[in-house]
Amino acid sequence: MKIVSVVGARPNFMKIAPFIRAIDSYNHQQGESIEHLLVHTGQHYDGEMSKAFFTDLGIREADINLGIGSGSHAEQVGNTMIAFESVIREYRPDWVVVVGDVNATCACSISAKKECVKLAHIEAGLRSYDMAMPEEVNRKVTDCLSDLLFTPDRLSSENLRKEGIAEDKIKFVGNIMIDTLEYERPKVEKLDLPDVLARNLVVPRTSDDLLMITNSDFAVVTLHRPSNVDDPHCLTPLIEFITNEVTRDMPVVWPIHPRTRKQLELFGLWAKVSRTQRLFLLRPISYLDMLRLNMDARVVLTDSGGLQEECCVLGTPCLTMRWNTERPITLIEQGGVSVLVGNQVERIRTEYHRALALPRSPARPELWDGCTAERIVREMVSAS
User: Which positions lie near ligand UD1, rule CB under 6 A?
Assistant: 9-11, 43-46, 49, 70, 102-103, 134-135, 224, 257-259
- 3-class SS of residue 254: strand
Minimum gap (Å) between residue 28 Cβ and ligand UD1 = 32
Nearest distance from residue 215's CB to ligand UD1, in Å?
30
Q: Residue 97 and residue 95: Cα distance in Å, rounded? A: 6
Nearer to ligand UD1, 46 or 231 (CB): 46
Q: How far is the CB of 132 from ligand UD1 (least distance, A)?
A: 12
DSSP secondary structure, 73-131, as one string: HHHHHHHHHHHHHHHHHHH--SEEEEETTSHHHHHHHHHHHHTT-EEEEETTT-----T
279 vs 307, which CB is nearer to ligand UD1? 307
Closer to ligand UD1 by Cβ: residue 5 or 276: 5
Is residue 40 annotated as part of the catalytic site, yes or no?
no
DSSP per-residue letters across 195-222: HHHHHHBSS---HHHHHGGGGS--EEEE
Residue with smaller CB distance to ligand UD1, 74 or 357: 74
Output b/e per residue, 59-71; b: 16+ Cβ within 10 A: beebebebebeee
Closer of 21 and 224 to ligand UD1 (Cβ): 224
Q: Which of 370, 327, 384 is nearest to 21 (CA)?
A: 370
- How many residues does the structure list for the chain? 384
Separation of alpha carbons 3 and 31, rounded Å:
17
Strands of the sheet with 64-65, listed across from one edge: 64-65, 35-40, 2-7, 95-99, 118-122, 148-151, 170-172
Q: How far apart are CA 158 and CA 184, in angstroms?
A: 31
CB-count exposure of residue 52 (10 Å: 0-12, 13-18, 19+): buried
CB of 43 to ligand UD1, least distance (A): 5
Whose Cβ is closer to ligand UD1: residue 91's or residue 323's? 323
CB of 25 to ligand UD1, least distance (A): 28
Taking the complex as a whole, the smallest distance from the CB of residue 316 to ligand UD1 amounts, in Å, to 19
Which member of 28, 224, 257, 353 is catalytic?
224
CA neighbor of 73 nearest in space, from 158, 163, 134, 3? 134
Residues annotated as catalytic are 224
